[in-house]
Each structure stands twice: as C-alpha cells, then as structure tokens.
A and B are shown apart, each in its own frame.
Chain A
C-alpha cells in the first residue's frame, strides 16, 4: 500500500435530513490499491457517506478532494464519469436486459451509429473472463442468474467505466460461503491492479479477512481510521457500539422447556407443498424458540410461509392448540395468533412513505377493520410505548420510516406484530443486514418474549445466532427437514453435519 497521497480525501463532511444529523464532521480518505472497510452500526451514517460521495445527495458542509482536485458530483453519473462506481446491496441493474447489455448500456460499442451486438457480447465475455475470472452466457437476461452472479455483473459494469474507486455496499449479505470466497478472490485481484475498494459489511470476519484499513463511524460522527492489523476485534466492536459490551456472553442460556410435556401451540404433521418444501413434522410449544437452520434456498422461508398461510399447503395437516386448523390465508393465521416478519423488509414489510407510528399500528388497525379506527391519542400512546420498549431511534413517531436505518426499520416491523399479541411469532432473518449491536438487542428481545410465553420460530442464516437463541433446531437441506436437534445436541458441528448431509 502506498502511503503517499490519498486519491480521495473527505474532510469535515456534514449532511442533515429533516430531524436527523446524518453526518457530523466526518473525515474519510482512501488510497489506491487498498481495501478499506467502512464500519458502523445501523444509522451510523455509512450509507449516507456513500451517497454523498457518489452524488446521490449534495453535502451540506465540508470538502471532498478526488485525485487532488475538489469534487462535487451532482449525480451518480458524474461520479461514475470521474471514476467512482458503486455496487449496492440490492442489485441496481435491469433484469430484463442481457448480461452484456447490463455491463455496457449507456456505452455500447457502435458501428456507424448502430449498436454492434457482436462486439458488445464479445467485449462482455472478455471483460468477465479477464478481470473477474468468470464465464457466462452473456446473451441471457440478467434476471435468469443468481444474485451472486448478478453482483459480479454489477462489478463488471463498474470496472468497465474504468473505475478507480469501487464501492461495495454490503456485497456479501445474500451470498453463500463459496460465493463470498469467490468475491474476495476477485477483490484481491482487483486490488493488485491498483483499484481502491471501499467495502461495507456487517460481518466482522470478512472485514478481517479482506480489508487493509478500517474507518469507523458512530451516530454520524467520525471515530477513527485504523490499519486492520493493528485493531483487535473487541476494540473494533467497542468503537462501533460506543460502550463496553460483552457481545456474546450476555444472553442467558435457558434450559429448554420440556417439548413433549404439554400440548404444543402449533403442530404440523406431514405439511408440505410441491415445489416449496417436502412434507415435514414440526411442533412449537408456547414459550419455546424453535430455530430453522439451513442454507439459502433450503426451504426455510417456504416452511414459514406454509405455517403462516402465505402459501397453501397441498398436503398434510396443521394443528393449533390441538385442533386442526386450515391455514390457507395469512388472515386466518393472524386470527389464530400467528405473526410473520418477512425476510424481505423492503418489499413486504415497511411502507416507506408512512411514519413510524403509522407503520406500527398498521396490522392492528387492519385486524380491527377500518370502521373501528384507533384514536390518534391511542395510536400515539402505542407508538411511544414500543419506541421506548424496543429502543427505536430516532425516537420520533412522526419520522418517515424511510429515514430510519435497517435495524430500526426491523424493530418497527417487530413492534407492529408484537402489538397484535401473537401467540406464535415467525421471524424470518430478523437480523439480516443490521449491525452487531442491534443484532444482540433483537436476540435478547426474542428471548424475553419467549419467556413471557410466546412461541417463536426463528429463521437465520447465521448458525451462531440460531444456536444462541433456540431451544430446538430443525435443520433443512434441499427443501427437506433433515434433522431435529434439542438441548445439548444443538452444536455447530452437529448442525453443519446435518446441513452437509453427513
């Protein structure tokens, strides 16, 4: 790494949104040929920093210097032209266009003003092969590939604009381990070619695996910049969270309630759906947390959707408190006290243009019917109560939910369902894309709910998390429930073995 001049230097950056001081005097710099991790909790200002750097928002104060010159992009396009490209967590490409087009659109090779498809397809193949080391049929529509491949295409597009700074915003959150390894190999490869890579992630392991330098933000403030080798993990976490927190030790390990003793709240017998998940048996007792473990696409979400009636089961039976229940619509499930927090927060959970208060009361109001409106006062009471209980920040019920960070949005959705007083709470990836501190908070919350007698079905791709909260774990592989573990059997090695098919 060259210690001479940074290619990017941001000093004293300020950015305010209505009611939020998102960036408060942040300094940030980057050197060519390094992987730089930007760390911080949700709401620390990482996304905002990236957005002002790439011209999505203008800055309210401070200076940006790019390659030695003042730099104030007014649009992502200007930033791209200057050599700063971003690959977002969500893929911002067009699924209906071919891979080659997604890489080249806007800069298609042309012959006499006519787009030359042959030249474009060849160039796309060459680019993917040489710089990313992947071989694809570039004429197929992008939407027919997995998210991991789409991400590589997004990177290829960024590289093709001769980017000198590549921003990867949470690139690994929807990838499996092999895909992550492949991405890291590509990142190292690109780094050697002199590219500066800004890497945002919530996975601490990955930061230590791939980054050279770390900048930490907290609550919109600059905390510090450190070489990765000289910053121990514990210290990094402390700096991110801002208080000494014994991260993993703080959850009480409970003795699991006897599963067979009393009648379980919900029991599935041979429940299944063609193309979704094969028939399975599952029982969840009140006050019990059952974890679902398995790889992405192993049928975890499909199981949850069956239990919630979002998909209709085509075989098997389902019993709620011992009586058979036909859960063929979410409405019926809700009536029986089942709540479901979907993994797809953006698409199925929050309504961005409503306030925190409105988002919280949504399900309750829908349940009561529109003719029995909750009074404004009651709504405010409820919102305040849950904002306090779940520590939603900023603690303003009238804030638009789009202005909240991912972790806080998640808490709002949780509040929405808790308000219904569910007997069974299904949580699908409740901690995806949120930071360590908020993760621990949500886990603790789930534990305290179950202590109060709520049944919880907990789905997560992070094994550690499943192990920590669950009293029983169902392991899925290839859309089948392959193994159930309870009590002391719940160990990482056992689950891994079941997933791997040992």
Chain B
C-alpha cells in the first residue's frame, strides 16, 4: 500500500496522464513528444514562478507579487538593454538581484511586523506593477542579438523533438528545488514552519531567516521566470503576466500542496503546471472553444482539489484521535 502522504501527488500525476491520453484519443497528432515538449516550452516561466510559490505555500504563506515581478523584470530588462544600452551579462544578474531583494524585504516585513503575507505581497504586487509604468507605459520590444538568439534557440532531442533554453532553465530550477526541499535544512525548516510556526520557534529553528529566505527565493524565481518570459516574448510591458500569481497558486494547489502549509512536493507543482498546459493544448486542438474555457476548467479543478485536501486533512485529523 502506498504511503498516505503521497496520495494527493499521485492523484495529480494520474490526472495529468489521463488528460493527456484523453487528448491523444480525441485528436490526431496530439500524442507526440513535441506536443508534450511544447507544454514545457509554453509554460517554462510559469513553472519557475510556481516552484518559488511552492516554497512560500509550504511555509504557510502566499506570494501575490510574483506576476508583477515578472512584468517588472521584463520591463527592466527591456529598458536597460534597449534604452540604456547595457549588456545582458549585467542586466540578467541585476534583475535577479532586484527580484531576490524585493522578496527578501517582503519576507522581513511579514516576519518582523507580524503582518499577513497576503496583505504584504498584495502591496508588493501593486508596487511592482506600478514601477513598470514608471519605466514606460508602452511595450518596449527587444531586438538585442543575445535575446533573439535565446528566443530562437532550439535544443534538439533524440527523436526529433526540441525544447527551448527556458525549458532547460525551468527543469534545472525544479531539480534544484527538489534538492532544496528535501536535502537541506532550509527546505526542512520550511516544512516545519508550515506545519506549526510556533512549534518551530520553540524547537529553536531559525524561523526569521527561513521565512525571509522563502520569500527571497520566490522573488528570485519570479525574476528568473521574468527573464525566461523575456526570452519568450522579446519585449517588456507593464501588462505582461497579469494574473500569473493566480495561475502559479493554482498550479501549486492542483499539484497537491496544502494551502495551510507543511505538506506538498515540488514535483506536484511540476505536474500542476503541466495540467494547466494540457488543458490549454486540448482547447487549442478543439479549435472552436474560446481560451476562457481554460480558466473554467482550471477553476473546476481547483474546487475539486481543495475538496480533496479537505477530505484528506479531515481524515488525518480523525486518524489521530482514534
């Protein structure tokens, strides 16, 4: 019998396989490695952002600023490269540092002033989105050779399919995050805080540092997601990635992570993103359906998963009392 703690994860993976198979049966040409790879290519930035979000939610928090951070990153990159003439080698580290410190500051405010993460990151969301328009209210297109090369680069895989640079980065982030979550003290402390923050304090764990690191990591991921998004869109714009934070949260929850914190897996988030991707792909293949159907299906799935979580946690609680 499988361990109970893996059930939400297995449900997610099973659901993904089921949806992919359903698509394959219904549409000719759906069942190919390239369709699968396109899921990754089109959602690489979301995957990176959602990985950061996973840590935040595991710690029992939430980060609403990630979408705006992605937009700010595209905007900063575009304006520094196209208007100020900076080299990418300077711009990319800079935007990553901006994202990281932005997240770190929100984490510090959340911890030291004991303010709900929801409201602090909501403020961060407005702040970052507003900063985009300080830079420019229009789209700034990027035609720097490095960025166009990144955008067009195809990494050939055996079997004829290909992936983009963004996918490579995203997969590396996933691997790094799995390692962080399970084999470092930072990761375990994150789980502990999500399980019970007051206990974590009494157990002598570095709660302050961990919480700030969690938000810094999420900030870093959203900036990195922004860099990948810039490769993908080749522009900076204040209206990029509107609502992305909600997609990321949805991916994490569909991936089986409990919104109350302390339970979940990075791999779950990976499949959560793929499920969103597969819904989009099915709707594209269908051809006649509006893209809003994606949102509706995701909404429905979210309901289902939250119900599942509820049943799951209720059962665990009862299991203890007996």
Contacts and interface: CB of A to CB of B under 8 A. Distances in A.
Interface of A: 75-77, 80-81, 86, 88, 91-97, 101, 105-106, 108, 113-115, 141, 143-146, 157, 275, 297
Nearest to B258: A96
Interface stretch (B146-154, B199-207, B265-273, B297-305): B199-207
Contacts of A93: 196, 199, 203
B185 A114 contact: no
B314 to A, nearest CB: 12
A94 B200 contact: yes
Interface stretch (B43-51, B63-71, B187-195): B187-195
A106 B199 contact: no
Given A94-B191, A94-B192, A96-B194, A80 B319 contact: no
Given A96-B262, A105-B203, A297 B316 contact: no
B201 A76 contact: yes
A96 B203 contact: no
Contacts of A86: 202
Nearest to A116: B183
B310 interface: no
12 contacts: A76-B204, A92-B203, A94-B195, A95-B195, A105-B185, A106-B189, A106-B203, A115-B184, A115-B188, A143-B316, A157-B203, A275-B318
B209 interface: no
B183 A97 contact: no
Interface string B159-174: 0000000000000000
Contacts, number: 75
B263 interface: yes
Contact of A97 (B191, B202, B318): B191
A106 B185 contact: yes
Contacts of A106: 185, 189, 203-205
Interface string B293-322: 000000000000000000000001011111
Contact of A144 (B179, B203, B319): B319
A96 B320 contact: no
A92 B5 CA distance: 21
Interface of B: 5, 179, 182-185, 188-189, 191-192, 194-196, 198-205, 262-263, 316, 318-322
Contacts of B320: 95, 143-146
Contact of A76 (B202, B316, B318): B202
**Most A CB within 10 A of own CB, among B179, B318, B321:** B321
Given A115-B184, A143-B316, A146-B320, A77 B191 contact: no
Given A80-B204, A141-B5, A143-B316, A96 B263 contact: yes
A101 B262 contact: no
Q: Which one of B183, B188, B204 has the highest number of Cβ atoms from chain A below 10 Å of its Cβ?
A: B204
A95 B200 CA distance: 11
Nearest to A85: B204
Contacts of A105: 185, 188-189, 192, 203, 205
Contacts of B202: 76, 86, 88, 92
A105 B316 CA distance: 22
Residue of A93, A96, A141 most packed against chain B (CB within 10 A): A96
A94 B184 CA distance: 17
A88 B5 CA distance: 27
A97 B192 contact: yes
A363 B309 CA distance: 32
Given A96-B195, A146-B320, 8 more contacts: A75-B204, A76-B202, A91-B199, A92-B196, A94-B192, A94-B195, A96-B194, A105-B188
A88 B202 CA distance: 10
Given A114-B183, A157-B203, A94 B321 contact: no
A100 to B, nearest CB: 11
A95 B132 CA distance: 43
A63 to B, nearest CB: 24
Nearest to A101: B188
Contact of A94 (B182, B262, B316): B262
A80 B196 CA distance: 19
Contacts of B262: 94, 96-97
A88 B199 CA distance: 10
A115 B199 contact: no
Given A94-B262, A95-B196, A144-B320, A77 B204 contact: yes
Contacts of A143: 316, 320
Most buried by B among A80, A86, A92: A92
A81 B204 CA distance: 9
Contacts of B195: 94-97
Nearest to B318: A275
B316 A144 contact: yes
Contacts of B319: 144
A146 B179 CA distance: 31
A134 to B, nearest CB: 18
Nearest to A95: B195
A97 B191 CA distance: 7
B97 to A, nearest CB: 24
B7 to A, nearest CB: 13
Nearest to A111: B183
Contacts of A113: 184
A108 B205 CA distance: 12
A108 B204 contact: no
A96 B191 contact: yes
A86 B316 CA distance: 27
A493 B16 CA distance: 61
A141 B315 CA distance: 14
A275 B322 CA distance: 10
Contacts of B199: 91-94
Nearest to B189: A105
B204 A94 contact: no
Nearest to B320: A143
Contact of A115 (B182, B194, B322): B182
Contacts of A80: 204
B209 to A, nearest CB: 12
A53 to B, nearest CB: 14
A384 B157 CA distance: 79
Contacts of B200: 94
Which 8 A-B residue pairings sit nearest by Cβ, starting from the closest?
A: A94-B195, A77-B204, A96-B195, A96-B262, A92-B199, A92-B202, A114-B183, A94-B192
A251 B102 CA distance: 66
Contacts of B183: 114-115
A146 B191 CA distance: 21
Contacts of B182: 115
Contacts of A115: 182-185, 188
Contact of A297 (B188, B192, B205, B322): B322
A76 B198 CA distance: 12
Nearest to A157: B203
A87 to B, nearest CB: 10
A97 B188 CA distance: 9
A83 B189 CA distance: 22
Contacts of A141: 5
A96 B260 CA distance: 11
A176 to B, nearest CB: 14
Contacts of B263: 96
